[in-house]
């Protein structure tokens, strides 16, 4: 059993062959996929996809790239969506100071607001952090939520990973761990407890070796799992089982 804890099946990159992508994942041994909305429209699509396919669950939230478009009714609509069946997380929310597609001050303000909303509705959170490690940690430290969550597509070092674990968060490992120049990420995988690890594709992005350069999809998570198992000195089956249990525990999936 494998779980892709973070994909974007609702994105237009999958509009032509979404069902085939999900079937390929199932054939590869991927039993569950969390599809993560990044805009209100995509959150709605994620919920619809989860309703249609048994293997898919949904997360809702406004990505830091998109927070500049948050309006007066956005949070009210997210509250309604949070009550829908198979919505298991709030996110991805956070900060992206690499591309700055929303102004930094807007990102910080909206991240704080979405943390408050996640606490109010009682869902675990999925955190996006790119080139904003210090600011992300500071905001998470002040969060009053106790439901925990995941730092997705982890890009920090051992020190940051330990701080995230100390706050009760899990670390999600993407296909980048298979890249030739991923020494820091591989070190994080090696040093943190297996019980704190999740696996993800972030499809359609971050395609692992040997498919790098092509569109990513949930079936390819087997390559990430193989690499993480190798780094941890575990069998593939043991790695798959424990990371899947971790994912189900974080997102409260029976």
The domain spanning residue 246 has which CATH number? 3.20.20.140
The alpha-carbon radius of gyration of the chain (Å, integer) is 17
Residue 60 near residue 45, CB atoms below 8 Å = no
Residue among 122, 99, 97 nearest 111 (CA): 97
144 band by pLDDT with thresholds 50, 70 and 90: confident
Name the residue range of residue 192's domain.
2-251
**Coil, strand, or helix at residue 20?**
helix
pLDDT digits (tens, 9 = 90+) for 199-224: 999 999 999 999 999 999 999 999 99
CA–CA dist 106, 112 (Å, integer): 10
Average pLDDT over residues 226-235: 98
CA–CA dist 173, 9 (Å, integer): 18
pLDDT digits (tens, 9 = 90+) for 34-83: 999 999 999 999 999 999 999 999 999 999 999 999 999 999 999 999 99
- Per-residue pLDDT at 147: 84
pLDDT > 90? residue 135:
yes
146 band by pLDDT with thresholds 50, 70 and 90: confident
- Per-residue pLDDT at 145: 81
**Coil, strand, or helix at residue 70?**
coil
Average pLDDT over residues 148-164: 97
Q: How many structural domains are present in the chain?
A: 1
């Amino acid at each position: 059993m494998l779980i892709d804890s973070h994909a974007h099946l609702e994105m237009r990159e999958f509009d032509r062959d979404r069902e085939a992508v999900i079937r390929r994942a199932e054939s590869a041994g991927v039993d569950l996929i969390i599809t993560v909305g990044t805009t209100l429209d995509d959150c709605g699509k994620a919920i619809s996809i989860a309703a249609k396919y048994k293997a898919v669950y949904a997360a809702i939230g406004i990505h830091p790239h998109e927070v500049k478009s948050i309006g007066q009714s956005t949070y009210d609509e997210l509250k309604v969506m949070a009550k829908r069946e198979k919505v298991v997380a709030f996110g991805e929310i956070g900060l992206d100071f690499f591309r700055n597609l929303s102004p930094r001050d807007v990102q910080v303000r909206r991240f704080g607001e979405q943390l408050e909303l996640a606490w109010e509705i009682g869902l675990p959170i999925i955190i996006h952090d790119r080139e904003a490690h210090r600011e992300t940690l500071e905001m998470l430290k002040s969060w009053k939520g106790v439901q925990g969550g995941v730092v997705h597509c982890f890009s920090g070092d051992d020190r940051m990973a330990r701080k995230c674990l100390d706050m009760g968060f899990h670390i999600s490992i993407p296909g980048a761990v298979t890249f030739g120049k991923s020494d820091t990420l591989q070190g994080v995988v090696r040093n943190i407890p297996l019980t704190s690890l999740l696996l993800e594709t972030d499809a359609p992005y971050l395609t692992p070796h040997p498919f790098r350069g092509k569109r990513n999809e949930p079936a390819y998570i087997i390559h990430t799992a193989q690499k993480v198992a190798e780094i941890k000195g575990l069998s593939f089956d043991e790695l798959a089982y424990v990371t899947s249990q971790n994912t189900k525990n974080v997102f409260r999936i029976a």
